[in-house]
Amino acid sequence: MNRPIACALALALSAAMLSGCDKSSEQKPSTDKTAMPADAAHENPFFAASPLALHFPQFDKIKDSDFGPAFDRGMADQLKEIKAVADTADAPTFDNTILAMERSGQLISRAIKVFGNLTSANTNDALDKLDEQYSPKFAAHFDSIYLDPKLFARVKALYDKRDTLGLDAQGVRLVERYYTDFVRAGANLDDTQKTRVKEINAEMATLSTKFGQNVLDEVNDSAIVVDSLDDLKGLSEDQIAPLAEAAEKKGAKGKYAIALLNTTIQPLTAQLENRALRERIYKASMSRGSRGNQWDTTEIVSKVAKLRAERAKIMGYPNYAAFAVAEETAKSPDAINKMLGQLAPAAVANAKKEAAELQAMIDQEQKAKGQPTFALEAWDWAYYSEKVRQAKYNFDEAQLKPYLEMDNVLNNGVFFAAEKLYGLKMKRRTDFPVYQEDVRVYDVFNEDGSQLAMVLVDPYARDSKRGGAWMSSYVDQSELMGTKPVVALHLNVTKPAAGKPALMTWDDVNTTFHEFGHVLHGMLSNVKYPYFSGTNVPRDFVEYPSQVNEMWSTWPEVLANYAKHHQTGEPMPKELLDKVLAAEKFNQGFATTEYLGAAMLDQRWHQVPADQLPDAKGVMAYEAKALKDIGVDYAPVPPRYRTPYFSHIMGGYAAGYYAYIWSEVLDADSVEWFKQNGGLTRANGDRFRNTLLSQGGSKDALQLFRDFTQREPSIKALLERRGLTAK
């Protein structure tokens, strides 16, 4: 029942919600081949630790049919292990109780981690079926552990005398965290309350899985098919070729298919000259999950929000947000509201100033054409902001892409910065099995030649992969378990046509540096117990190290090393580099407002009791009123995610989407520290590694920040970065 197992469960459930195909929830375990025992001639690869280096998963041996038996045996084995702890007549000790739980459940942990990663990155109908079948079973399994009164009694006995057990600081913290986890799971509730919590957890697991499968199914089904090449004016040949291939795969040869990504605003609208097509794409994106079709998620949203509120009330909290953030660095919804409320008015004001510039550009263009002008709409923003950017800074995004070839960005940018800061060396290897042909595997070595970790890089978008970008873990570092990290970096770069280079957008580059920041957090972990490993930190702290890593994307030494023309090798011209840097605050009113719209909407769903939440028919009206009440209902800038496809808050970021900007306060302040202390140096990298990245969750999160910077966090740097300071 160690933290990696709990995290793996969360990963499996949240990954399930963000990926998959819509299948019936009817369960037929006696006839479903995915739940049948594996072939007798096929040894289940999960039944023992992988014999590959660092226990790298045996993807070449893993079959879909292996997961069911591994889950069943893994849960049974863990329950036996936990029963032995709970039933022992020996007095509770740190070793026979806490460490015994830390060591338990290795089989279920192995299986769930691989499963959660595959349902996110390379799902199929069989995995989706298993997801539906096992999500409630996993919830019930972990409830049976956390709600075991005899086990909790042993944990509580150790907690009550934790300062007299002779433990070091990390050991004391581990006891405290286990006790808190049991209490937050409901260990102090009466039997009636425990029964209801179990029912809620099982129902939420099923609903969350269904939500994610609906979201991905609708995205795959609702690609915008364009009949005429003329309608794609503004796109390059390299951008058009994959659209033609996608259409052909959908049986529409000779046409073009534009897939929708998970955000409200779609990237291609920044280039498409056809306003009617931009509008069509925008409206299709906005309507996802609320059209009354088979993928409508409004009923799921309503049920989940009410169940969360009910569960929080049982736990003694006024609403789910209060429960969710009690153990985060924010501590309370009031603190979140104060910060978001401080940012929102300035962000919207900046967005309106930006809109005035865009409207002036529209008026000017229409007048030059001798045509009547039109009012700026949300589907125009990306297109005209690029025009304004070009007018103000004399460049557009298309000028950057030839200098942002993916391999250069990875090898000569992301990996180069990691070597400069931490002395790490990445070595590609091709002798390890992967789950999909485009996945790459790297050994990672410390400066002294010792192996630190292994990393999988999964770069391209595909129908079987959820949207966005993320880091995940297959094996967590732990002195107790003697394990080193095996982690993964997942991107959604558009795969180029055969023989063509993978050219990234500037956002792709920034995202790659960001997610590799999470990878570093996982790889550089150096803790004793699995519970604290890597990114096992408060949710509103986990984005902080990854956001810091974004700074190196524009650091002159790093940028000059990777921003080279993919054909000529010529470096990006200095004048273009200067324009990129000068434009960093451009469009920040839009970016901050769309983010805050989503973050504050998340809070409105989770800061009220169940009886104030709407039914399915009222979901969209509730959203509209919430945005109006909090002052971010500015039509040209919709929320980054609308409720019916807001996958973050249906998973691990429920009441926690604020975490990105909360973490950015620490990030912006830390970036200033790096700049004040010499920037890209081994000394600075080692300091960040030793005081923060290596510590995982073994210390209080804000104390880690103080250990690194030797000061309290300040919001000043964030306000300046986002252009929200008074002019």
Q: Which residues are catalytic?
A: 515
- Closest to 616 (Cα-Cα) out of 313, 216, 304: 304
- Identify the DSSP state of 257: E
Residues constituting the chain: 727
Kind of pairing between the strands at 470-475 and 486-493: antiparallel
93 backbone dihedrals φ, ψ, rounded to 5°: -130, 165
276 Cβ contact partners less than 8 Å away, ≥ 6 residues apart: none
Token pair in block for residue 686: 């080692």
- Closest to 554 (Cα-Cα) out of 661, 679, 455, 424: 679
- Identify the DSSP state of 478: B
CA–CA separation, 112 and 16 (whole Å):
11
Please classify residue 275 by burial: count the beta carbons closer than 10 Å to its beta carbon, then call 0-12 exposed, 13-18 middle and 19+ buried: middle
Amino acid letter for position 305: A
- Kindly state the helix (H) or strand (E) to which residue 371 belongs, with its residue range: none
Largest CA distance in the chain: 90
- H helices of 607-654, in order, are 619-629
- 178 Cα distance to chain centroid: 25
Token pair in block for residue 476: 């967590």
- Measured from the Cβ of residue 364, the count of other Cβ atoms closer than 10 Å reads 13
CA–CA separation, 108 and 104 (whole Å):
9
Query: CB of 6 within 8 A of CB of 109?
Result: no
Phi-psi category of 455—alpha, beta or left, where left has phi over 0 and alpha has psi -120 to 50? beta
For the chain, state the CA radius of gyration: 25
- Closest to 650 (Cα-Cα) out of 262, 278, 348, 342: 262
* Residue given tokens 């990878």 in the structure block: 519
CA–CA separation, 128 and 36 (whole Å):
15
Question: What is the sign of the dihedral through the CA atoms of 425, 426, 427 and 429?
Answer: positive
Question: What is the sign of the dihedral through the CA atoms of 317, 653, 34 and 223?
Answer: positive
